[in-house]
Structures are given as structure tokens and as C-alpha cells.
Amino acid sequence: MRVAVVGHVEWVQFARVERVPSPGEIVHAGDHWEEPAGGGAVTAVQLARLAGAAELFTAFGDDELGRRAREELTALGLRVHALDRPEPQRRAFTFLDDDGERTITVIGRRLVPQEDDPLPWERLDGVDAVYVTGGDAGAVRAARRARVLVATPRTGEQTLVEAGVALDALVGSAEDPGEHLPPDALDPQPRLLVSTSGSEGGTYAGADDLEGSWEAAAPPGPVEDVYGAGDAFAAGLTFGLGEGRPVEAAIELASRCGAACLTGRGPYAAQLRFDGDG
């Protein structure tokens, strides 16, 4: 399997607190750390752990955090293709409360790859599956060189409309307004629409009257936090469809990826690894 991600990276600071502070309140973090994350990074690392390797097409800020993000993602097993923009690396601050919920504040402009960036787009020729979280319309069209193309609505309605390519799947959260697109917004319409609802599972619909729902997989251990679970789900779906699994089987794998991610500290500690048995 050859897999890749076209998307964005954020440098994220995490703080574990009993609860998110009320206005004017001071709370103390019981644990804190920082690492590169965001949808592009998390899906790429999860794909690498399923496929054995993955490529990430992105952009970084031209500063110390951008350099650290590139280095650490490479250390996590990714082959990174990126241009450094002459601006600060986008950052985020994330509270993780005692229930495992995450509350995120994003700082800075979203940095995404563009078609005219001097990146090796030809490496996407014949790739089994690509997942897109961000880029300009040309970058989305470059990603369409893959046999299977999956995207998130966070790529942007205008970008996806301008790209004008057929998506094999569009996956987003039913609970997140930022991941909704109006009905019939895209032409051609995605072959498969997948809508997740966290612990409630989700629904899917596609061509030839395909539709259904699923129950979320049980986490394989105590829940640490939910950060990255949705991205891990998207990676599992992309891998499963790229491998040629039926929709239901691809979603089952995706659900297991999301459930595994819940049990680790941050997005990477407990990601599902392919064991050869599916």
C-alpha cells in the first residue's frame, strides 16, 4: 500500500486539567506537553502505522516551531514534502479535561500546500489512497492522481468546488459545524458520504442507494483523551478504501482506529498498528 496526505500541520500545546476554566478562573495542569499535530499530521502518522510508510505534503512556518514540526514528523516515520512559508508556524492550545474531552484554541493562519509549490507532486501518481485536509484547488487536483481520494469538509467548500474532482469519500463529524457542507455543494458529488458521531457511531450514504450506520468500536482500554480520534478514523477509512475493502469493512477498521486513539496520551501514543490480520 502506498498512501499519502495533503494537508496542514499545527504545533500543539496540551494541558490536562480537571475542567476547562470558567471566565476569570485559574486552573492548574496536571500534565502538559507539546508536539506537531493537526488533521494532516495525525492522519498521516496513523496511515503510516497501517501501511508501513506514508508521505505528507504540507507547508510549515519559517521559524523554530516549523523546523521542529518537520523534524518530529519525520521521526514519527513520515516522508515529508513541504515548503517553508515566510511566517510563523500555526499553533494551537488544547485543554484536555477529566472526561477526556478536548477544547482547542488555534493561533495563526492555516498553512497548506499549493499546486505551484515546488513539491514532488508526481509521487502521487498511482498512489493507492490519499487523504486531503487542506490545500488549494490545484493541490486537490494533484491528489486526484491517486486511485482513491478521501477528503474532509475542512478542506473548504470553495476549494473543493473549484477543484471539481470526484471524491471517493467525504468524511466529517456530524457534531462539528465546521465539517458540514450544503447538500449538493460539490459537482461531481462524492461517491460516499461518511458522517461520524463519536461514541454514537455514525452514518454513511453513497451511490446505488447505499446507506447504513455503525456502532462505535469499544476502546481497547481506559479513555485518556479524544484528541485525534476523528483524524485516526479518517485515516482508517482512507486505508480501508485504498486497500479495496467494502465500505462496511473500511468503516469497521476506521472505527477501531478511532477507538484505539482514545486510549493514548495525545494523538500518537495508542494509534492502531496493522498486525497483518486486518
Check pLDDT > 60 for residue 126: yes
Q: What integer pLDDT is reported at residue 24 of this predicted model?
A: 96
Dist CA 79 CA 81 (whole Å): 7
Residue 131, SS3?
A: strand
Q: What integer pLDDT is reported at residue 244 of this predicted model?
A: 97
Buried b (16+ CB within 10 A) or exposed e, 131-154: bbbbbbbbbbbbbbbbebbbbbbb
Average pLDDT over residues 247-266: 98
Check pLDDT > 70 for residue 160: yes
Cell readout for 228 is: 485525534
**DSSP 8-state assignment for residue 110:** P
Burial class (CB in 10 A: 0-12, 13-18, 19+), 97: middle
From 6-10, 103-107, 162-166, 180-184, the region with the lowest mean pLDDT = 180-184
Q: What integer pLDDT is reported at residue 277 of this predicted model?
A: 47
Q: What integer pLDDT is reported at residue 275 of this predicted model?
A: 65
pLDDT in tens, 51-89: 999 999 999 999 999 999 999 999 999 999 999 999 999
Entry field: residues in the chain: 278
Of 175, 226, 196, the closest CA to residue 14 belongs to 226
Average pLDDT value for the chain: 95
Is the pLDDT higher at 27 or at 277?
A: 27
> Where are the domains positioned within the chain?
3-21+30-261
Radius of gyration for the alpha carbons in the chain, expressed in angstroms and rounded: 18
From 81-95, 199-213, 231-245, the region with the lowest mean pLDDT = 199-213
Element (H, E) at 60: strand 54-61
Give the percent of the chain with pLDDT over 70: 98
Give the percent of the chain with pLDDT over 90: 93
Q: What integer pLDDT is reported at residue 278 of this predicted model?
A: 56
The dotted CATH code for 3-21+30-261 is: 3.40.1190.20
Dist CA 231 CA 268 (whole Å): 11
Dist CA 217 CA 220 (whole Å): 9
Average pLDDT over residues 79-103: 97
